[in-house]
Structure 1
Amino acid sequence: MTKLYLTRHGQTVWNSERRFQGQQGSPLTEKGIEGAKKLGDRLKNIEFGAIYASPLPRAYDTAEIIKGDRDIKIIKEERIKEMSFGDWEGVKAKVVQESDAEMFNNLWNNPIAYMSEKGETYQQVYDRVIPVIEEIKEKYEGNVLIVAHGIVLAIIMLYVKGRPLKDLWEDEVLPNTSLTIVDAKNDKFNIELYGDISHNDSMTR
């Protein structure tokens, strides 16, 4: 059995400014770094057979913090990069909503209809992300940490739950540095923990 430990990168400057990040992005904030440290403390006694991270700095840096002093190389996996938003990247969500209301609405409420002239569709992201999960299941027994992004993790959990793409946003985006644990055996998944942030209780507000 493979036990997947899934987390989203720590909060970034653009997260705090409500800007689309996609495959660009900004550095972790102090809160983001602290959240990663708290999760690292929570997981310090877990032995990981592998650590996978998106190569985007916000995810890779989070993985480095969580890894701590473990003697293990972080695997940079291009296919779990965040969805590309094209020209929206770096732009505040409010501005996008005002300038492209229909597509902004589709992004969150009608995933099948969402299209991006220079970015990706949800289906394109699904098609690159899910094979990674299947490869990890086949390759590893035991614990594997995956540090990725909001939409990537939403798609992984959609797959785990066996839902169609149109239902992607029945659940909210997983919080930064939250912990989700999924047991994977053959074609069956069991969600042991979902979006837990209890390790952040002692964080400075």
Structure 2
Amino acid sequence: MTQIYLVRHAEAEGNLYRRIHGHYDSLITDLGYRQIAALAHRFESIHVDAVYSSDLFRTRTTAGAIYKPKGLPLVTRKALREVSMGVWEDRPWGEVHRTDAQQLAWFNATDARWGVEGGETFQRLRERISAAIRQIARNHPGQTVAVVSHGTAIRNALAVFQGMSIEESAALDHSDNTAVSLLEFEGEAARVVFHDDNSHLPEEISTFARQKWWKQDTGALADANLWFRPLDMERESDLYRQCRGEAWLNIHGSWDYYDGDAFARDALFQWRDDPRAVSCVMLGDEVAGLVQMDIRRDADKGVGYIPFVYMMPAYRKQGLGVQLIGEAVSVYRPLGRKYLRLRCAPDNLVAQRFYRRYGFRKVAEAAGTRVPLDIMEKYIGH
């Protein structure tokens, strides 16, 4: 008998930023590394003969919890990748909901009609992932193997090995990050012993403990998926000025040193250079905030600079702000930037906690500014 432990990767950027990452090669989050440590503890007493993963960073890194302590090599297989999402790759879920609602509904329902340009079908995914796992089992008769893959891929593999059709597989649970399933193979016959077990994760580091999208009718705003559109700085500058002013007054408590004209001029220049530089954060049809990027600043240093991050008062402290950081990563990473950088008032404790929670660290204090500001930085390179 051959045992295959199927493991989903730890929390990665797509899970956190609510963006579509199939073959997109995203990073593990800070929480994800804590999940990896818990996974390593789970496998301490489990004998494993070989470890496989997809060739993407998030699975290779998660697999380190198993192969490194046991002194085993890691074998990567492209066939273990997540479903290819084609033209949806790295787009916010909220944007696809707005532009391609029917296809998104079919995807969420595991409907065989789902298919987007450049992507896979569920049938193709099922054939690919199940064939890859069967081949691994053939390569290791009588042994125990750990295979690290992705949520949708694992869900479809479990469906195949339980004899479920594409339509029937929609009834299967979603799996938490680093959740473990166990398959047993006797020749070509496969049996699912257990699936989607996350018992090694304390609630405080479970992705699912913080997200509610996988449950029905929760109405959780924290799981709301945002989308982004360019803010027209020639037609909508009043909105920009309103948000800048409110943010300044909220942080500093007075209008001292405030120069709204200078902020607006800078934003207009940046927007003319690249329309993505000033974007409206949208929740459905409502403006929920702004995010501004200075595409040219510090480009020679591999830095993506963010002059302004703003959420409307009604949407603060709802778990939405991290999606703005995800938008900045999506803009700057393809440009070759390795770091995000921004400035934050040291006495803005709410913002300081937010940025530190999501990987920013103080690297310096800004010189020559009208008010004290910390320079904070986050690594986004591989």
TM-score (norm 2): 0.51
Q: Which residue identity does 2:144 align to in structure 1?
A: N
More helix by share: 1
> Corresponding residue for 1:74?
74
Counterpart of 1:5 in 2: which secondary structure?
strand
- The residue that corresponds to 1:20 in the other structure is 20
What residue in structure 2 maps to residue 198 of structure 1? Answer: 199
Q: Distance in 2 between matches of 1:127 and 1:200?
A: 31
Are 2:167 and 1:166 equivalent residues in the alignment?
yes
Following superposition, the deviation at residue 24 of structure 1 comes to 0.6
Instruction: Report the Cα distance in structure 1 between the residues aligned to 2:131 and 2:97, rounded to whole angstroms.
Output: 32
Indicate the structure whose relative CO is greater, using CA pairs within 8 Å and at least 6 residues apart: 1
Displacement of 1:130 in angstroms is 1.6
SS at 1:120 equivalent: coil
Structure 1 residue 155 corresponds to structure 2 residue 118: no
Find the structure with the greater CA-based Rg.
Answer: 2
The whole-number CA distance in structure 2 between the counterparts of 1:154 and 1:146 is: 14
The separation in 2 between residues aligned to 1:139 and 1:36, in whole angstroms, is 26
In structure 1, give the amino acid aligned to 2:29.
T
- Give the match for residue 34 of structure 1: 34
Quote the offset at 1:190 in angstroms. Answer: 2.8
1:177 corresponds to: 178
Q: Contact 1:40 / 1:67 at 8 angstroms: preserved in 2?
A: no
Structure 1 residue 53: deviation in Å?
A: 0.1
Distance 2:27 2:136 in 1: 28
CA shift at 1:83, angstroms? 1.0
Within 2, Cα distance between the matches of 1:171 and 1:36? Answer: 24
**8 A contact 1:111–1:168 mirrored in 2:** no
Moved more, 60-69 or 112-121: 60-69
2: distance between equivalents of 1:77 and 1:201?
Answer: 30
- Normalised by the length of structure 1, the TM-score is 0.93
How far has the Cα of 1:142 moved from its partner? Answer: 2.0
**How many aligned residue pairs are there?**
205
Secondary structure of 2:79's match?
helix
**Secondary structure at the residue paired with 1:184?**
strand
Q: Which residue number in structure 2 is paired with residue 11 of structure 1?
A: 11
CA distance in 2, matches of 1:35, 1:175: 10
Structure 2 residues without counterparts, runs of 5 or longer: 207-382
Partner residue of 1:143? 144
Query: SS where residue 129 of structure 1 aligns?
Result: helix
CA deviation vs aligned residue, 1:86-134 (integer Å, no higher than 9, x gap): 1211111121111101100111225210111111111121222221122
Q: Which residue in the other structure is 1:113 paired with?
A: 113
Structure 1 residues not aligned, in runs of 5+: none
2:166 partner letter = L
Give the residue type in structure 2 aligned to 1:82.
E
Once the two structures are superposed, residues 32-89 of structure 1 have per-residue CA deviations (whole angstroms, 9 ceiling, x without a partner) of 1111110111111222121110001001111013323222111101101111111211
Query: C-alpha root-mean-square deviation of aligned residues, in Å?
Result: 1.6
Moved over 4 A (4+): 202-205
> Partner of 2:288 in structure 1?
none
Q: Structure 1: how far apart are the matches of 2:76 and 2:42? A: 23
Contact 1:36 1:66 in 2 (8 A): no
